[in-house]
Structure 1
Amino acid sequence: MVLKPQTPTDDYDSPWKEVLEHAFPEFMDFYFPEANAAIDWSKGYSFKNTELRQVVRDAELGKRFADALVQVTLLDGTEGWVYIHIEVQGEPESQFPKRIYTYNYRLFDRYNRPIASFAVLADQNEHWRPDHFGYDILGCRHRLDFPIAKLLDYATQADALEDHPNPFALVTLAHLRTGQTRHDPEARYQAKRTLVRLLYKRGWERQRILDLFAVLDWMMRLPDGLEQKLWQDIDQIEGETQMRYVTSVERLATERGLQKGMEQGMQQGMQQGMQQGEIVLLERLISKRFGALSSESRARLESATLEQLELWAERILEASDLDEVFSNH
């Protein structure tokens, strides 16, 4: 049996929120077309991050991998707030529908506005499909039904996703390919390269390409060797398309990294210089007061921190012997 190298730990969650904010109408159109058809996009929309944070701070009910609160206007003129919750986890979680319900009623209670809740489920269990929460007691009934989009449902539509113009088709395909290639780095590399080519093939504007590449790059992590190989492929793709977007950002990041490294190197050099100066001074003082240093004492000086050296230098003026200088008290 040949053991294949593992891909780095996958992380699906962080990119979702950013791409959601940059392409919210497309998000609704792709995952929730019925609701999307009822929204008057000509009136614009606005994210209510401050309002959402206030409710989240008051009711911390577990990890939310990505969520957003958006104000939209419906075609009938009604203003409504849309609460989007993206749940990304490997196993079903019993408290999930309760969280949707709780945020819905807390938002309604605080702002007195109708709230529509939607959930994207990106777990790997095809049978887990929570779409409601409620209870019935003594004739009183409370229930919230909310639409869900299950990413696993798109697994049989890979060809259609590749041809689909909506950016969330590409995000969904990247998510599926990440799960399918979890234990096969070479297959992950091939899939990621294909998705990058699709990204440039769409002819999107620069910022959208950068946003979506960030999602692909975050989801589909590769071992260092294959990562370097992919960057060579990207350089070739950008040369063919005459769109130097991603590699230009990488070069900028590299330049910033080099500059930061130089600054850190200078600081480290200054620190080391000060430390070496303290060692030389202590060696002279110790030799004058207590005689020649033993190899053990010299090794102790060499391994000490700058703070320890400064402390020992203060002690040496009053210490009766070397043990008192090096004392831990």
Structure 2
Amino acid sequence: MSKQRDDYDNPWKEAIAVYFKSFIAFFFPDIYEQIDWKIPYEFLDNELRQVMRDDELGQREADKLVKVWLTNGQETWVLIHLEVQSQYQSTFAERMYVYNSRIFGIYRKKVASLAILADSEKSWRPQEYSYEIWGTRVLLRFSMVKLLDYQQDWQTLEASINPFAPLVMAHLKTQATGGKPQERLEWKLSIVKSLFERGYNRTEIRELFRLIDWMMKLPGDLESGFSQEIKRFEEENQMRYDTTFERLARREDIIEILEIRFTELPSELVKAINLVQDSELLRMLHRQAVTIESLSDFQQLVSQSQSEENNN
């Protein structure tokens, strides 16, 4: 097990490509609110390869360059340069500056550089690169998220329906179980089984399963046992899975009805609706979404219903 090299970059690269909107919502919620998601975003992989060509700072597997549109009503677009760094690197901040300046030089557009630090060094938190010579000063500050910080908020990861919550869990437990195959097996089973509890549809479960399986590698004998256990679990929980799928569809219907009637919904209300698990309560909220007079009345109803559900 210790000789097996864990692959972080490729699963992260694919996860960002599949769930880019969820990625921004999970790690950079302030930026999420400023992007107009009604206008399709565009991955600029070819352009990024041009920027990184003949790069002496090393090949970057998980970098992504994405064109998005803002909510300010202008035809302004921002290039978001994403970095997922899985190990300490002394030239990391310099590389962020080099790529940012190269991208700006090509497109003459504002460039937001975002870093996901996925390493295991608690104290390594680069957020800027600068130098000064003869009165000239150059400075780049970039947004940074440290995955290790989520270890202190494990319950939030367990409760979140964002696909990056289980992926962060898988990443952290892959790091923590290097050389501990049996412990990794137990965590892998736990995280994969939790996908059925989060309200994902079948396609999402399959995709997340594939990414987690890719990241949390096991030796051959344990991998075989893992596959058998997951197959048994799926068969035993098929009825519960169907109910979970129905709850997901009901939640989406409630949110859509409220958006049609009241336009924009507070993010707290959307989160509260997505946390409702009781099928009968969801049916009642669905009816109320159609008939209730105001959004504030609906918010109060959800709050009261959740309070009663928690007390039962």
Normalised to the residue count of structure 2, the TM-score between the two structures is 0.72
Cα distance in 1 between the residues matched to 2:24 and 2:162: 11
Check conservation: 1:65, 1:88, Cα contact below 8 A. Answer: no
Q: Give 1:150's aligned residue.
A: 146
2:191 is matched with 195
Instruction: Pick from 193, 202, 211 the counterpart of residue 206 of structure 1.
Output: 202
Shift of the alpha carbon at 1:201? 2.4
**What SS class does the counterpart of residue 38 from structure 1 fall into?**
coil
Q: Which residue of 1 aligns with 2:84?
A: 86
Q: Secondary structure at the match of 1:66?
A: coil
In structure 2, what is the equivalent of residue 126 of structure 1?
Answer: 122
Which secondary structure state, in structure 2, belongs to the residue aligned with residue 43 of structure 1?
A: coil
CA distance in 1, matches of 2:157, 2:185: 19
Q: CA RMSD in A?
A: 1.9
Instruction: Name the CA distance, whole Å, in 1 between partners of 2:2 and 2:124.
Output: 27
Q: Assess if the C-alpha contact under 8 Å between 2:160 and 2:198 holds in 1.
A: no
Residue number in structure 2 paired with 1:246: none
State the 1:58 CA deviation.
Answer: 4.6
1:31 aligned onto 2:27:
yes
Q: 1:173 matched to which residue of 2?
A: 169
Instruction: Give 1:311's aligned residue.
Output: none
Shift in CA distance, 104/71, structure 1 to aligned 2, threshold 3 Å: same
1:158 Cα deviation from its structure 2 partner: 1.6
For 1:233, the equivalent position in structure 2 comes to: 229
1:68 to 64, 68, 78: 64
Q: CA deviation at 1:122?
A: 0.7
Greater mean deviation of Cα atoms: 107-116 or 198-207: 198-207
Are 2:53 and 1:57 aligned? Answer: yes
Structure 1 residue 231 displacement after superposition = 0.5
Shift of 1:206: 3.4
Distance apart, 1:10 and its partner CA: 1.8
Q: Deviations 1:100-156 (Å, cap 9, x if unpaired)? A: 100001011011111110010011111000011111111111111000010000111
- Asked whether the equivalents of residues 161 and 199 of structure 2 are also in contact (C-alpha less than 8 Å), the reply is no
Paired residue secondary structure (1:141): strand
Contact 2:79 2:112 (8 Å CA) reproduced: yes
Task: Deviation per CA, 1:282-321: give whole Å up to 9, x if none.
Answer: xxxxxxxxxxxxxxxxxxxxxxxxxxxxxxxxxxxxxxxx
* One-letter amino acid of the counterpart of residue 83, structure 2: H
Gap runs ≥5 in structure 2: 240-312
Aligned partners of 1:114, 1:58: CA distance in 2, in Å?
24
Single out whichever of 24-33 and 72-81 deviates more from structure 2.
72-81
SS at match of 1:142: strand
TM-score (ref. length: structure 1): 0.69
